[in-house]
Structure 1
Amino acid sequence: MRKQIVCGALVAIGCFSGAARAQGSVTLYGTIDSGFQYANVGGVKTTSAASSTVIPNRWGLTGQEPLGGGTFAVFRLENGFNVNNGTALQNGALFGREAWVGLKSSLGQLQVGVNNTAINITLLQDSLGYGWGTAANNFAFVPTLRSNNSIRYTSPQVENFTMTVTYALGANGSTTLPRTLGNTTSIGFRYATKNFAADADFMTQVYSPAKVVAPGSTTSTGNYSLFAVKYDFGFLVAGALFQMHRGGSASGSYSGYANVNNNFYEIAARVPVNLSGLTFSFGQYKNLANSAGNATSYGIRYDYALSKQTILYAGVAAMRNGSAASFSVNSTVAVSVPVSVPGSNVTAGIIGMTHLF
């Protein structure tokens, strides 16, 4: 359970008491996910300790302070880490997953810092787990998920609709990079009722095809569209998503996206059993310029809840690559089983445990 820590308990780390401050609160939260994975990649078999498989390993602080008139100051700091060796993820950043401060009122929420994009918010909400064994997790392009130097606005819900807009300055005035490199704009529209949700997201992001990026390097713009639906039948939660990528170049980031005209989709279902559940996922990546770059993802995972905070899990997943594709079965934060030879198929199994606090 997340532990609520009132300001009076935080004097040692610089929280000053006062009439207004005393009403604020800070929440410490996190997840620890660890297990073991067996994989067969093109006939090469490995067994390894696994970190962040079903849920990303993280810890964070979030809080708010009432400012009067229904307005709150809000913030979040979130760190990602590797439980196997204790190192920080997101290139060693202390709070590389999220780090923002903002204001919230009846007009919506505005926040500045490291923010999730509209695409990442949808994948987190509507991909039925976005964890080990799901096609969305295996095919998602990491640079589209969060942005540094960004501002994000989330509207209030009106007639079940909400809107999220983000804008980020990628290079952020750097004199060693192209001026617009990494600039990201995203907008997301969401309709949600008790049992149904539908999302439509659109994003642009500036890349450079150059292997060594300099101030004068050529840039181009990647365009992304993501559509997702989810329905809770009670006995079954079913969902589907479809993403298109057009233009730009991400060849320096991941070889699977060297061709910039591609799609991927996922069809998934989760059968809840009290607090536990069985998740199925099927999806395909389509390289529109070269069908040899296509890939197909399969996954099934059972999560068994020992309590509301502690979960045991086991799963089996496979990736079938075309002769020019090198996708893999991923953890929630990175490629956990590298495919060094394009066209190699991947079969993997996982067992592990997650604890939430």
Structure 2
Amino acid sequence: MGNASNYFTDNSVLRVNNSVSYASPSYAGFKLRALAGLGENATQPGANIGNIHSASLQYDSGRFSANAAVETRKTTAANTDRFYALGASYAVGTVKASVLAQARRDDLDVARNDAFELGLSIPAGPGTLLLDAGRFRNRSVTDADATALSIRYDYNLSKRSMLYAGAATIRNSARSRFGINGNTGAALAVAAGDDPRSLVLGVRHTF
């Protein structure tokens, strides 16, 4: 809860069946990952519809981390979706700042959008304060942008137990209808232009 990138993600590519993946050993801070998945297409065999390919490069060095990723998805015989992401984080003392940029493009010019996210993790007392802001820009549909804001506090009871409380909101433009995802699934449906708000309270224990 609270990550703007979760709200603006295309959920249809979060799980890939019929796939193989590879993760390389880390070398000088770099690590490569790759995935290939074959779609199941009975209506147009041989058209590669449903095929997904992705690759990412991770770099870690002390307080700095960065990752770049690209993914392609064949949706029809005439169209391929392309997803791009670039993220980084840096710790200054005990405070960690992060930034994420995402983009989606397709051959038919019907699904073009960008998303940006900024996050802060700040130690506070026995826990951590988490702040997050994200912006979605729809380049295919006018007046369909959105802004997400969230705040959460994680309170450590012990090494294995934690209490957490948070609040989030999304400001939808007149033609956007993003909702706030929970930990167990997609958001409840909202009407275009509505601004959903959410409160979360919970406890986590690691066995």
| C-alpha deviation, 1:353, in angstroms | 1.6
Deviations 1:182-227 (A, max 9, x none): 211101011101211011111101124xxxxxxxxx5521001100
Query: Cα 1:227–1:239, aligned 2, differ >3 Å: closer, same or farther?
Result: same
Alignment pair present for 1:351 and 2:182: no
Alignment pair present for 1:192 and 2:60: yes
Deviations 1:144-188 (A, max 9, x none): 3231111111111111111101101121xx535655222111010
Query: Cα 1:290–1:199, aligned 2, differ >3 Å: closer, same or farther?
Result: same
Alignment pair present for 1:270 and 2:121: yes
| Corresponding residue number in structure 1 for 2:103 | 244
| Corresponding residue number in structure 2 for 1:302 | 153
The alignment's TM-score, normalised by the length of structure 1, stands at 0.54
| C-alpha deviation, 1:234, in angstroms | 2.9
Deviations 1:26-58 (A, max 9, x none): xxxxxxxxxxxxxxxxxxxxxxxxxxxxxxxxx
| C-alpha deviation, 1:330, in angstroms | 1.0
**Paired amino acid for 2:202:** G
Q: Which of 322, 328, 342 in structure 1 is aligned with 2:192? A: 342
The 5 Å alignment of 1:213-228 reads 218=77, 220-228=79-87
Distance across 2 between alignment mates of 1:177 and 1:278: 51
**Paired amino acid for 1:265:** F
Alignment pair present for 1:232 and 2:100: no
| Corresponding residue number in structure 2 for 1:103 | none
Distance across 1 between alignment mates of 2:189 and 2:206: 28
Identify the structure with the greater helix proportion.
1
SS of residue in 1 equivalent to 2:80: strand
Q: Is the 8 A contact 1:206 1:248 kept in 2?
A: no
**Paired amino acid for 2:166:** G
Q: Which of 26, 29, 39 in structure 2 is aligned with 1:160? A: 29
| C-alpha deviation, 1:235, in angstroms | 2.1
Q: Is the 8 A contact 1:262 1:286 kept in 2?
A: yes
- Larger Cα-atom Rg: 1
**Paired amino acid for 1:299:** S
SS of residue in 2 equivalent to 1:293: coil
| C-alpha deviation, 1:232, in angstroms | 1.6
| C-alpha deviation, 1:356, in angstroms | 2.5
**Paired amino acid for 1:310:** S
Q: Is the 8 A contact 1:275 1:308 kept in 2?
A: no
Query: Cα 1:270–1:175, aligned 2, differ >3 Å: closer, same or farther?
Result: same
Q: Is the 8 A contact 1:320 1:345 kept in 2?
A: yes
**Paired amino acid for 2:56:** G
| Corresponding residue number in structure 2 for 1:15 | none
SS of residue in 2 equivalent to 1:146: coil
**Paired amino acid for 1:316:** A
Distance across 2 between alignment mates of 1:191 and 1:331: 29
| C-alpha deviation, 1:342, in angstroms | 0.7
Query: Cα 1:269–1:202, aligned 2, differ >3 Å: closer, same or farther?
Result: same
Q: How many residues in Structure 1 have an aligned counterpart in Structure 2?
A: 206
| Corresponding residue number in structure 2 for 1:281 | 132
Large movers: runs of 4+ above 6 Å: none
SS of residue in 1 equivalent to 2:143: helix
SS of residue in 1 equivalent to 2:7: helix
Between the aligned residues of both structures, percent identity stands at 30
